Structure 1
Amino acid sequence: MLKTITGPLLQGSPQERVHYALTGEKPHRDAKLLLMLGDELVSALTTAQLRRWHGLIRVEVGAHTANRVMSMLKGILALAEEDFGVRVCAMPTNLAKRKSKPKKEILSPEEVAALIAHAKADPERGIFYAFPFLTGVRVSEQLGLLWSDIDLDRNVITICRVQERDGTTIETTKTEAGARDIPISATLRGLLLAWRLVCPRLDGELYRVFPGPGVPQQWPLPRLGGGGPVLYSNFLKRYWRPAFKASGIRYVTHHSARHSFVSVLQAQGVEVGLVAKLAGHASAAVTLGHYTQAVRGGADALALLDLAYQGQGA
């Protein structure tokens, strides 16, 4: 962190900057080194200079780091003034908190409908990429889902755990509000019923809803080694990215599917507080209401989602 103040700062990726800081080796001959404040006298620093330096760090490293090193520098200058009687400049105020984020790209209802149609014709993988568009779940919630969490009699999915990046599961959710029930729409019910028939078992029993495929054998022999966790990286490589390439739908992230879920429900006139509960938002600023365990009206909301994806929305 101190190197960000004194410099020089390598212009490149975080990994390249770490490598340069540890070895002093540039990743390539044309890599650029940016001057920081290391050669400046403390007494010669100006407020405008600090503002420009902060802006440069924001662009190259990020707003969070820029604000942290500015706070660190403020303490350093205060100590210099107190301990050595060095006159220091005033710290800049009204600094930009963060770079403006580009608007997240989401699929239109027509594009989601096309992707879901593709999923229905893809019995081995379709449920993996259709599921988040029909439930709004986070990827950790999706990969951690067990068949015991799905009640097809009540038509409800219970979100109560997440899968970590290493494949382990923890019996908790990202936030308190993340523990929730999501009604199953007609489209999702059909996909789940079809998937349950061919879903890889763990020791011969249904366990994970989104398990590793294992090795297929000639019917009616079970798959070998299937039913275990799918790591996030393998999920992207094996299921998520190929789906967009094969369907011809423009690529979006898994989190974008969550945005589509929320946006479509709101466009269908579903009350914002209910949408937030279905999505498991934790912040009151996002949910516009307090978390409650029951999700009344959720089934009707998911029916509207289905209609929107079928081109029959309001």
Structure 2
Amino acid sequence: MGRKSTTGGVSPLNERIQLRFNWRGKEYRPTLPLKPTSGNLKAAARLRQQIVEEIRQGVFNLEAHFPEYRYIDKAELVPSDGQAPQERNFEDWCKVFFEIKGRSTEHSTLMVYKRHMDSYWIREWGSLNPRAITHEKIQKRIAALAKGYTDKEGKAHKPLARKTQNNILIPLRGVFELICKTLPQITDPVQGVENLKAEIPPPDPFTPQEVELILKELRKRSEEVADYYEFAMFAGLRDSEQIALLWEDVDLINMTIRICRARVLGESKTRTKTHKERIVELNARAAAVMERQRTRTQLADKEVFMNPSTGRAWHDDQGQRVMFKAALRISGVRYRPPKECRDTSVTLALMAGCDPAWVAAQHGHSVVTMLRSYAKWLPKGDDNRNLNKINTAMKLISSGCS
């Protein structure tokens, strides 16, 4: 009878020594062609410790240690993604993360995440084992990006804004959350890397005078594009909502439109950014645009706004943007991005004295967002009645104390 081992995972087996360890979720029991003497058992225990450490680091090779192991063919089989979790490098883990994340994340958001990961993290550490990416490395990397940096190709890059620094950490956190849940022996290196406080720029809408100057200049180039932006400024849809608007969503009798779909990066989806459908009542300027669009696109019974150059639906908001930018430059209007057309619609309605709750519903905002972001455009139309009431009350208090 062979003597029993006093070391866990190592035991005599006839005239050989058996090792036991877990790898890829299974227990393996290969043997060594050594007699189970005291010295050999200690040497086998050291070998087992080395194997356990290699497994922890994701570099263990069963065939290298046990080339004659009879179950070697089955043991070397790996999952369908091509690699066992312990053996994936950082780039492989990112691919798994995006595959899983595709189920719950908008396509456009996923594309931004991929771009951020490729530009700032995978290019730097893609071939590394996740264990080699430490908390210190991440902190140093984000600090370098904040100062401006030169990439491996020698190209200089400007410092990343605070908001961008926060944004590129979002997918990185997601990747390491997946890694650490799959391999709990790994400590999350992103934990403790805090977001920076970033100022949210306030709305910067166009004034009524600027609106007319821009539209006048656009009409010299394209009536269709001018109407596209006139509708944007007076109906206030998001770009993604306007290019996806179908004639079946338009009520020409009541002059309302149903906002229930969007198109981002060329992908159409039957939901909005907020995942809430809404009805928008068209004012006279927006309704006039809709009437003009009837002669252009209603017969096709598809999108309301189409690219006049191609006769097809707008893929995104980039083609229109070229003309918009040129119109601002030539008309002398200070440049703001086209998204400010939506803010223009909001502020024009508020300055006209519309109920903020109604304006919020029209544009798909919450009332809290409306009051927080657009308070300065709320009309001071009370003729100082509220202020006078306070001053009167203070005078009464003052006279009562004298």
Compute the TM-score of the two structures, normalised by the length of structure 2. 0.46
Q: Distance in 2 between matches of 1:145 and 1:39?
A: 46
1:56 aligns with 2:147: no
- Residue 19 of structure 1 and its aligned partner are, at CA, apart by 7.2
Q: Which amino acid aligns with 1:149?
A: D
Q: Aligned residues, how many? A: 234
Report the equivalent of 1:210.
305
Q: Which amino acid aligns with 2:368?
A: A
Q: Which amino acid aligns with 2:264?
A: E
Report the equivalent of 1:261.
345
Select the residue among 278, 284, 293 that pairs with 1:195: 293
Q: Secondary structure at the match of 1:153?
A: coil
Q: Structure 2: which 5+ runs fail to align? A: 1-89, 92-115, 147-159, 372-378, 384-402
Higher relative contact order (CA 8 A, sep 6+): 1
Q: How does 1:117-266 map to 2 (within 5 A)?
A: 117-119=216-218, 122-166=222-266, 168-177=267-276, 179-197=277-295, 199-200=296-297, 205-214=300-309, 226=311, 228-232=312-316, 234-237=318-321, 239-266=323-350
- Give the number of the structure whose residues are more often strand, by fraction: 2
Query: Do 1:137 and 1:279's aligned partners in 2 also have CA atoms closer than 8 Å?
Result: yes
Q: Distance in 1 between matches of 2:145 and 2:307?
A: 41
Query: Do 1:145 and 1:161's aligned partners in 2 also have CA atoms closer than 8 Å?
Result: yes
Query: Do 1:58 and 1:66's aligned partners in 2 also have CA atoms closer than 8 Å?
Result: no
Q: Secondary structure at the match of 1:254?
A: coil
Query: Do 2:262 and 2:272's aligned partners in 1 also have CA atoms closer than 8 Å?
Result: yes
Query: Do 1:58 and 1:98's aligned partners in 2 also have CA atoms closer than 8 Å?
Result: no
Q: Which amino acid aligns with 2:369?
A: V
- Residue 125 of structure 1 and its aligned partner are, at CA, apart by 1.9
Q: Distance in 2 between matches of 1:21 and 1:112?
A: 46
Identical residues among aligned pairs (%): 20
Compute the TM-score of the two structures, normalised by the length of structure 1. 0.56
1:107 aligns with 2:206: yes
Cα distance change on mapping 1:66 and 1:137 into 2, 3 Å: same
- Output one character per residue of 1:172-203: Cα deviation in whole Å (capped at 9) or x when no partner: 222244x2222222222223323332x257xx
Report the equivalent of 1:285.
368
Q: Distance in 2 between matches of 1:181 and 1:39?
A: 49
- Output one character per residue of 1:99-121: Cα deviation in whole Å (capped at 9) or x when no partner: 22344433223212322344566
Q: Which amino acid aligns with 1:128?
A: Y
- Residue 140 of structure 1 and its aligned partner are, at CA, apart by 0.8
Q: How does 1:38-57 map to 2 (within 5 A)?
A: 56=143
Q: Distance in 2 between matches of 1:191 and 1:120?
A: 13
Q: Which amino acid aligns with 2:290?
A: L
- Residue 143 of structure 1 and its aligned partner are, at CA, apart by 0.2
- Residue 254 of structure 1 and its aligned partner are, at CA, apart by 2.6
Cα distance change on mapping 1:174 and 1:151 into 2, 3 Å: same
- Residue 138 of structure 1 and its aligned partner are, at CA, apart by 0.5
- Residue 58 of structure 1 and its aligned partner are, at CA, apart by 8.3
Q: How does 1:66-85 map to 2 (within 5 A)?
A: none
Q: Which amino acid aligns with 1:209?
A: V
Cα distance change on mapping 1:53 and 1:267 into 2, 3 Å: farther
Q: Structure 1: which 5+ runs fail to align? A: 4-12, 25-37, 82-90, 215-224, 289-307, 309-313
CA RMSD of aligned residues (A): 4.5
- Residue 229 of structure 1 and its aligned partner are, at CA, apart by 1.7
Q: Which moved more, 1:97-106 or 1:260-269?
A: 97-106
